[in-house]
Amino acid sequence: MKKILISIGLACLVVACATNPFTGKKTLNFVSNSQLFPTAFQQYDEFLKENQVVTGTAEAQKVKEVGQRIAAAAQKWLTANGYSNYLDGYEWEYHLVKSDEVNAWCMPGGKIVVYTGILPITQDEAGLAVVLGHEVAHALANHGAQRMSASQIQQYVGLAGSLALSGKSEQTQQIFAQAYGVGTQVGVMLPFSRNQESEADAIGIQLMALAGYDPYQAPKLWERMQAKSGGSSVPELLSTHPSSQSRIQNLTALAPQAETQARKYGVTSFQK
């Protein structure tokens, strides 16, 4: 049984690699868009029915306009680089939802929500472009499917370990289960999540620049986010996201590159 599990796991690792066109990196993904998107779209629709969607306001319209502008920039880049069919199956949708939560999120396939609570921090269109660029990037990089795949591997390895210790004492099995759970969460899953957030930042700043928004506004947004939190946050080691300070540093370093690339694609001025 253990040999079968190992063989299946190795086979999955071999066949489930795909290349992220924006980074050139190999990514692990067991879940196809055709499998994932219909469920994600259904869950998105259910969320909208159960929450207060803001319509008919300038803010709601701006969320849609900026999101569409960034998605169009992504399509332009993909087409120019030989990935014209990459977005097949995506159905971009952007909604502003009334909530004090300072947050925005994206479901697989391009279903995005921005909470009204983040608008005082975005402040203007360029600030909103930072947020939406990041969320569009999550969708483009298939981060949802990657998280599902990573979780499957975590469960698979845990099962294999439990089987290997099936002849040991109950105490030994409990120690393994606890150590494995904490170890993989802190040492694997949380760093994996932080890496995805950093990747979305890196792709997002490129997209906002290609859409004509000033990439130097990206670190400024996170300066405002840091000020909003008062500097207090969960230690980065125990968080799903990089710290605000890490993001400020990374985005500051990435801004010149994003500007240069956007100019190569014909962007002559940037909206601040």
Residue with tokens 């120019």, as numbered in its chain:
80
Cα–Cα distances in Å, from 119 out to 56, 122, 124, 128, 188? 16, 5, 8, 8, 33
Residue with tokens 């990435």, as numbered in its chain:
254
Cα–Cα distances in Å, from 203 out to 169, 181, 189? 49, 31, 21
Catalytic residue among 93, 135, 199, 259: 135
* Distance in angstroms (rounded) separating the CA atoms of residues 84 and 76: 8
Rounded to 10 degrees, the C-alpha dihedral 46/113/267/79 comes to: -30
Closest by CA position to 133, among listed 71, 194, 90: 71
Radius of gyration of the chain (CA): 20
Is residue 146 within 8 Å of 27, Cβ to Cβ? yes
135 as an active site residue: the answer is yes
62: part of which helix (H) or strand (E)?
helix 58-80
Closest by CA position to 157, among listed 9, 1, 4: 9
Q: Catalogue the active-site residues.
A: 135
